Homo-oligomer: A and B are copies of this chain.
Amino acid sequence: MISQKAKYALRALVALAKEGDSLMIGEIAARKNIPRKFLEQILLEMKRHGIVHSRRGKLGGYSLLMPPEKITYGQVLRIIDGPIAPLPCLSRIAYRRCADCKTEETCEIRRVFARVAESAREVLDRTTIADSLDSSLLGDEAEDAGHEMARL
């Protein structure tokens, strides 16, 4: 499961991309239903990683620093949630040897999770904020809406 924080981050970036212009934290929080003070921390971190830009003072706000089609889901998730790999010994950004396994080559389960990691990266590193913009604009494409009707 990805964290709530990561969901907020992605949604905030989508909001910024949709706007095109700059948006105040409070406005993003209101539109996307995100706790305001929590969102502050998230945007700060996005800023530290060069994803967004901010202006202080009256008329301040946030805007994207990169074009939406260059911001990948993988990039955001790695910043907020850490490695995508399901095992530390498969992570590219935070490789750690598994303390309890003798050699990686013969680890019975590593191969399996290597395939999981690869396919997750395939999706997450190729999908961008811009893609989410498109899909939310299309709204109801007959994609897999038949999976489950929302029961509200």
Q: Which one of B109, B119, B131 lies within 8 Å of A112 (CB-CB)?
A: B131
Given contacts A2-B87, A136-B106, A136-B108, contact A34 B100 (CB under 8 A): yes
Residues of B with C-beta under 8 A to A132: 108-109, 111-112
Contact, CB under 8 Å: A109 / B150 = no
B114–A120 CB distance below 8 A: no
| Size of the chain A interface, CB-CB below 8 angstroms | 54
Chain B residues lying within 8 Å of A152, measured Cβ to Cβ, are: 103
C-alpha spacing A86/B116, complex, angstroms? 13
A21 on interface, CB distance cutoff 8 Å: no
Q: Which residues of B contact A32 (CB under 8 A)?
A: 100
Are A112 and B108 in contact (CB-based, < 8 A)?
no
Across the interface, A120 reaches (CB within 8 A) one of B100, B120, B143, namely: B120
Contacts A33-B100, A119-B123 given: A11-B87 contact, CB under 8 Å?
no
Residues of chain B lying within 8 A (CB to CB) of residue A33: 100-101
Q: Tell me the smallest distance from the CB of A22 to a CB of chain B, in Å.
A: 20
- Name the residue on B nearest A76 (C-beta): B109
Closest to A138 in B: B106
